[in-house]
């Protein structure tokens, strides 16, 4: 018998007499369907199956997870929740408050998660002080990706300020090159917006505006400048951007059709899947400004019946935070491990820089949760902001009106 299967059976035996003979099974709902993402989730599927588990894949594409959440709610309302679901941030707490999440504290205690996870990340994984989810990675959201050859042809460099970005974009556009690859979807608009908020306003302003939802910050002269920059960026995207998926925008940069993309480091998985090398074929740099916007992907476990499914949850949770998975998954996904002490020797420059910057940000108080990716706010407040951002991006609404409407929208969403 293979050692991995023996290890699996040993774990299951420890779960109690009622589950000792159960075959671990997990129906896993997620929205990792692009090339790099699918390659990454395959690493989890392979490890789960090699440890004696039976994996039932339930991918739901589109909308940055919105379609997956609609499918999840339908399943929960019908009394047939999946075993494990890709969830993050306040969404985990919202489902916990509905009384449908399972308790993973037993696994967390045995595996010493409190010692292996950064305190900020562990906090997102706990419900009522007990673990209810397992983190798979840490993504940095505020990255700018660039095609090295395109920049060289245009004679421009990675911008370190938004003014530099605008100057470079004007030059690129004059040469017939699309400056900014973008997909006209609400969550992509929000991803760009929060990076601009951080870059123009700084970390303290970002926290006031998009974490604390301070009315004065939302309707301020600084926020007007943010919307001014968003209007400028709107002029740097191509005419076919509406509805484009993020990975297709990444492909524009990979193929030299566009110079830049503002997107989280899941975009790196697309470059990796295309056989591209950082520093040679493409560049990775933080967007202009200081601070680190993080997005933590995780799997929450829902209450299920059946010893096989309960055993599957515990095995899956154990493997997710295990050092082997944290390394192999994040090498494929483009992110960095959530587990402290995971060796980074096989990771590329972009990942090592991300890990270093995260440590610096954590110590300086500039490690900030991404609002656009469900880490900072609950759905209603985040949705109100994103709706307004997208409305502004696709209309002639003035920046002053956008700032005022933003404050009003947030106030009405409370």
- pLDDT tens digits for 137-148? 999 999 999 999
**What are the residue ranges of helices labelled H in 64-104?**
66-77, 90-97
Pick the residue with more confidence: 232 or 121? 232
Kindly state whether residues 109 and 21 are assigned to the same domain: yes
Q: What is the mean pLDDT of residues 340-346?
A: 92
Kindly state whether residues 310 and 287 are assigned to the same domain: no
Query: Which residues fall within 8 angstroms of residue 130, CB to CB, at 6 or more apart?
Result: 103, 104, 105, 108
Kindly state whether residues 207 and 251 are assigned to the same domain: yes
pLDDT bin (cut points 50, 70, 90) of residue 88 is confident
Please tell me the chain's helix, strand, coil percentages from 3-state DSSP, rounded to the nearest 5: 55, 15, 30
CATH of the domain at 307: 3.40.190.10
Question: Tell me, what's the pLDDT at 413?
Answer: 93
Question: Tell me, what's the pLDDT at 63?
Answer: 59
Q: Which helix (H) or strand (E) holds 210?
A: helix 186-210
Q: What is the mean pLDDT of residues 157-183?
A: 97
Kindly state whether residues 275 and 310 are assigned to the same domain: no
Take residue 216 and report the two structure tokens written for it: 């004065």
Kindly state whether residues 181 and 247 are assigned to the same domain: yes
- pTM (2 d.p.): 0.83
Kindly state whether residues 180 and 279 are assigned to the same domain: yes
Domain C-terminal end among 327, 345, 363? 345
Question: Tell me, what's the pLDDT at 321?
Answer: 97
Pick the residue with more confidence: 328 or 6? 328
Kindly state whether residues 204 and 69 are assigned to the same domain: no
Q: Scanning the structure block, which residue is given the tokens 């004007």? A: 170
Kindly state whether residues 398 and 280 are assigned to the same domain: yes
Nearest to 336 by CA among 364, 365, 356: 356
Q: Are 390 and 189 in contact (CB under 8 A)?
A: yes
Query: Total domain count for the chain?
Result: 2
Kindly state whether residues 98 and 216 are assigned to the same domain: no
Question: Tell me, what's the pLDDT at 64?
Answer: 67
Kindly state whether residues 64 and 203 are assigned to the same domain: no
Kindly state whether residues 279 and 398 are assigned to the same domain: yes
Range of the domain at 367: 140-294+351-413
Q: Is a pLDDT exceeding 90 seen at residue 363? A: no
- pLDDT tens digits for 113-135? 999 998 888 999 999 999 999 99
Domain C-terminal end among 310, 345, 380? 345
Pick the residue with more confidence: 60 or 7? 60
Kindly state whether residues 368 and 337 are assigned to the same domain: no
Pairing of strands 298-301, 133-135: antiparallel
Distance separating alpha carbons of residues 339 and 322, to the nearest angstrom: 8
């Amino acid at each position: 018998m293979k050692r991995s299967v023996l290890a699996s059976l040993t774990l299951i035996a420890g779960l109690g007499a009622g589950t000792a003979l159960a075959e671990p099974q997990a129906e896993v709902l997620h929205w990792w369907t692009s090339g790099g993402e699918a390659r990454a989730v395959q690493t989890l599927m392979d490890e789960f199956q090699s440890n004696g588990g039976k994996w039932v894949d339930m991918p739901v594409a589109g909308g940055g997870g919105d379609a997956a959440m609609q499918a999840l709610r339908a399943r929960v309302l019908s009394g047939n929740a999946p075993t494990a679901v890709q969830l993050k941030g306040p969404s985990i707490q919202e489902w916990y408050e509905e009384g449908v999440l399972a308790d993973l504290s037993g696994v967390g205690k045995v595996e010493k998660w409190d010692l292996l996870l950064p305190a900020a990340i562990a906090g997102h994984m706990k419900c009522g002080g007990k673990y209810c989810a397992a983190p798979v990675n840490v993504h940095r959201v505020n990255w700018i990706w660039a095609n090295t050859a395109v920049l060289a042809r245009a004679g421009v460099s990675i911008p370190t300020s938004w003014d530099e970005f605008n100057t470079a974009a004007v030059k690129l556009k004059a040469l017939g090159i699309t400056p900014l690859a973008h997909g006209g979807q609400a969550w992509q608009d929000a991803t760009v917006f929060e990076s601009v908020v951080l870059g123009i306003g700084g970390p303290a302003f970002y926290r006031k505006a998009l974490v604390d939802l301070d009315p004065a910050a939302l309707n301020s002269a600084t926020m007007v400048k943010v919307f001014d920059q968003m209007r400028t960026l709107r002029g740097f995207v191509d005419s076919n951007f509406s509805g484009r998926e993020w990975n297709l925008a990444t492909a524009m940069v990979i193929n030299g059709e566009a110079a830049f993309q503002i997107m989280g480091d899941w975009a790196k998985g697309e470059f990796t899947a295309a056989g591209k090398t950082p520093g040679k074929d493409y560049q990775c740099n933080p967007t202009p400004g200081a601070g680190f916007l993080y997005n933590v992907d995780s799997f929450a476990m829902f209450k299920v019946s059946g010893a096989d499914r309960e055993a599957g949850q515990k095995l899956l949770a154990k493997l997710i935070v295990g050092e082997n998975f944290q390394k192999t998954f994040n090498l494929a996904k483009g992110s960095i491990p959530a587990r402290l002490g995971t060796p980074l020797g096989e990771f590329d420059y972009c990942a090592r820089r991300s890990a270093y910057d995260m440590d610096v940000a954590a110590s300086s108080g500039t490690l900030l949760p991404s609002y656009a990716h469900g880490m900072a706010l609950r759905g209603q407040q985040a949705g109100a902001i994103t709706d307004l951002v997208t409305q502004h991006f696709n209309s002639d609404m003035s920046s002053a009106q956008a700032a005022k409407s933003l404050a009003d929208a947030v106030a009405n969403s409370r």
